Amino acid sequence: MKVSNLKKSDCTICSIEGEINLNTSPDLRKAFEEFSRQNIKKIIIDFEQVPYIDSSGLATLIELFQRMKKIDGKLRICSVPEKVKNVFEVTKLHKLFEIYDDQESALEGF
């Protein structure tokens, strides 16, 4: 798994490439902890290159969501492939996260 960040105005776009699973979740958690250290309050996570996510990956996302909520931050997710979107729907997490079709729509009104 590869994680890269891009700053657009006051928002950080985090692009993930590869599977998010038990083996890669700790690396993702470290990347998310860096957001806290830098006091980043607006994050978009781009899932375009994520073919699979398991429960440990979902737990990592929920941790970030809770951390962002504590600091009055905002978290949005975009470009989620259909297979991964199904996981969000089955677990009802699509009701928790703001999910957008692409980066542009996620950035609007942020």
Residue-range domains of the chain with CATH: 2-107 (3.30.750.24)
User: Going by C-beta distance under 8 Å and a sequence separation of 6 or more, which residues neighbour residue 94?
Assistant: 85, 88
Strands 2-8 and 11-17, bridge-based pairing: antiparallel
Instruction: Give the CA dihedral 63, 10, 107, 96, nearest 10 degrees.
Output: 20
CA angle 101, 63, 105 (to 5 degrees): 15
Amino acid (1-letter code) at residue 76: R
Per residue in 63-105, pLDDT (tens digit) is 999 999 999 999 999 999 999 999 999 999 999 999 999 999 9
Per residue in 17-63, pLDDT (tens digit) is 999 999 999 999 999 999 989 989 999 999 999 999 999 999 999 99
Q: pTM for this structure?
A: 0.93
Helix (H) or strand (E) holding 17: strand 11-17
pLDDT (0 to 100) of residue 60? 96
